[in-house]
Structure 1
């Protein structure tokens, strides 16, 4: 596993990168061709981002 991110600025950069990757993936999906697996993966990514936000909020900095 990677090193814990404890610096608030670094946490924000990390979350922005994850959100940008999510947006890129969302833009790449063709609505007419999207299947349940694509939607499930998008939901997993949202859950992972939400988990990181909670994790960062619970850290003492």
Structure 2
């Protein structure tokens, strides 16, 4: 994950991959033994994704 994602196609692919991972994590949560920490983990993943989307948006705006 240390590699910079700079062009639009790569950025969209990055987001697609991250959303797929998020979806898999949600699907893997077992409702019978889920805990608040599981939701905290999901929230953190969503916040991280939001940060990336904001970053990519700034990149796209700078490109004009």
> Is TM > 0.5 for Structure 1 vs Structure 2?
yes
Partner of 2:24: helix, strand, or coil? helix
Q: How many residues align?
A: 61
- Greater fraction of residues in helix: 2
1:19 and 2:19 aligned: yes
The separation in 1 between residues aligned to 2:31 and 2:19, in whole angstroms, is 20
Residue segments in structure 2 that go unaligned for 5+ positions in a row = none
Q: Runs of at least 4 residues of structure 1 off by over 4 A? A: none
- In the alignment, structure 1 segments of 5+ residues that lack a partner are none
TM-score by length of 2: 0.86
The answer for the alignment partner of 2:31 in structure 1 is 31
Give the alignment's TM-score, normalised by structure 1.
0.90
